[in-house]
Amino acid sequence: MATVALLVLAAAIQARSAATPSPTPPSAPLAVLDGQPITAAEIEPIGGAQLSNARSQYYNAQRGAVEEVITRRLLEKEAKARNITVAELMKAEVETKVAPVTPEEQKSFYDANKARYFANVPEPEALKRIEMGLGQQRMQQRRAEYAGTLRAKADVRLLLEPPRTVVVADDDPAKGPADAPVTIIEFSDFQCPYCSRVNPTLARLKDRYGDSIRIVFRDLPLLQIHPNAAKAAEAGACANEQDKFWPMHDLMFANQARLDVTSLKQHAATVGLDAAAFEKCLDSGKHTAEWQKDSADAEKAGVQSTPAFFINGRPVTGAVPYEQFAEVINDELGRLNRPIPAEKPVAAPSPAAPAVQ
C-alpha cells in the first residue's frame, strides 16, 4: 500500500511540477497596490503557519518521491550486478526474510483495536485484513532496511532543499557552541506539560551530538491558558543574570504546579541564587519585554503552540519522538558533510530536578 501511494504521489507531483512555484524570494513583489509592491516578506506574518505547513507538505511529498526513486535505482543496480531480476532480488532479500503474521498476532491486534477499527466488521474478515496489513507493513520495513544497506555503499546526495524559516536568536540562554553546525531554537512555556515531556529528548540529543548542536531556549508563554507562564519566563531571565538559567529551567519544569511568584522565589533559593537580587529583578518586571519579543518572533514564524522547534530553520512542532529530531539533525549534518555521531545506548533516566514540597 505504501509503495502504491508513493507511486501515485510521484505521478501527481510530476503532473503538477510545471504549475508549482519555487520558493519566492522575500523581496519579490506578489502584487502592486497604487504603484507600491506587496512583497513575499510582507505576507509572512499573515500567512504564518498556513504557509509554513504548505511548504512542509510539498517538501515531504517531493522527498518521499525522491527517496522512492533512489530505492528503485539501488535495487535495479544490485539486481543487474547479480544478473537477476528485481523481482528475484526482492524475493531473495525481502520476501523470504519476513516472518509471517501469526494467528496469535492477528488476534492480539484485533482485540486491541476492535472498537476503533473493526466495530462493524465480522471477526474472520477483520483477521484477514490484519494479516494482510501487518504483512505489507513488515514487507515495506524489510525493503527499506535492505535498501538502506545498498544505500550505505552508494554515493547518494540529496540536493532537494527543505523549507526553512528565518528565526534569529540573540542573547537567549543556550547550550552548545555558537558555531555549531546545527542550531535548534526552541519556543517553550514553563507551564506547558508537553514542553516538560520533551526535555529528556533534548537531553538525549545533546548527549549524542555534543558540540555539533546548539540548543537555544526562547519563551512563548501561552497567557490565555497558563497564567503563571509569563512570570516564570521572567524568573528564567532573572536566573540567567546570575548564570543559573538551566538549573532554574529544570526546577521550574519539575514543579509546574508551583510557578506563582512566591514559589518562584523559593525555587531561586533552592538553586542557590542571590535571593535579594533575584527578588528585586522578578518584582521589577524588567524582563517582560524579553518574553514579549520572543512571543512576537514566534508569531512571525508561524508558531501556534508549544513546544515548537526550528532546526537550522526547519520547523518541528510538538513533543515529537527522539527519532524525528535525530532524522532532521542527521540530514543537516549530512548536507554539511559533517560526521554523524553513532547512537549511544539508552541509559536509565537521570533523576529529575526535585519537586519542592
Q: Where are the domains of the chain?
A: 1-14+49-163, 174-335
Round to whole Å and give the CA distance between 90 and 3.
14
The pLDDT of residue 348: 53
pLDDT(37) > 90? yes
For residue 91, count other CB atoms closer than 10 A to its CB.
Answer: 13
Q: Which residue has better confidence, 10 or 108?
A: 108
Q: Residue 172 is placed in which grid cell? A: 537567549
Residue 239 and residue 271 in contact, taking contact as beta carbons nearer than 8 Å: yes
Percent of the chain residues topping a pLDDT of 70: 90
Q: Is 3.90.1010.20 the CATH number for 174-335? A: no
Q: Give 188-217 pLDDT, tens digit per residue.
A: 999 999 999 999 999 999 999 999 999 999
Segment 177-187 shows an average pLDDT of: 96
Query: In the prediction, which pLDDT does 41 show?
Result: 81
Buried b or exposed e, range 246-275, using 16+ CB within 10 angstroms: bbbbbbbbbbbebbeeebbbebbeebebee
- What is the model's pLDDT at position 170? 79
Q: How many helices (H) and strands (E) does the chain have?
A: 12, 7
What is the pLDDT at residue 1?
A: 38
Query: 313 or 51, which is more confident?
Result: 313
Residue 153 has pLDDT above 80, yes or no: yes
Contact 204, 322 (CB under 8 A): yes
Lowest mean pLDDT among 140-144, 164-168, 179-183, 322-326: 164-168
What pLDDT is stored for residue 4 in this prediction? 36
Confidence of residue 20 (pLDDT cuts 50, 70, 90): very low
Residues 6+ apart with CB under 8 A from 188: 195, 217, 218, 219, 220, 306, 307
Q: Note the pLDDT of residue 49.
A: 74
Least confident of 74-78, 160-164, 246-250: 160-164
Task: DSSP letter for 21, please.
Answer: P
For residue 221, pLDDT over 80 is answered with: yes
Report CA-CA distances (Å) from 355 to 198, 201, 270, 282, 351.
18, 20, 11, 21, 11
Q: Tell which wins on pLDDT, 53 or 320.
A: 320
- DSSP letter at 210? G
> Cβ neighbours of residue 44 under 8 Å, at least 6 residues apart?
26, 51, 300, 302
Give the pLDDT confidence score for residue 17 in this predicted structure: 38
Predicted pLDDT at 346: 65
Q: Are 309 and 184 in contact (CB under 8 A)?
A: yes
* Closest-CA residue to 52 (of 319, 228, 283, 310): 310
CB 347 within 8 A of CB 244: no
DSSP states of 95-133:
GGGSPPPPHHHHHHHHHHHHHHH-TTS-HHHHHHHHHHH
Q: pLDDT tier at 8 (50, 70, 90 boundaries)? A: very low
Better pLDDT: 52 or 30: 30
Mean pLDDT of 89-103: 96
What mean pLDDT is reported for the chain? 89
Residue 44: the pLDDT is: 79
Specify whether the CB–CB gap between 85 and 79 falls below 8 A.
Answer: yes
**Global confidence as pTM:** 0.75
Q: What is the mean pLDDT of residues 132-140?
A: 96
The angle formed by the CA atoms of residues 262, 279 and 236, to the nearest 5 degrees, is 80
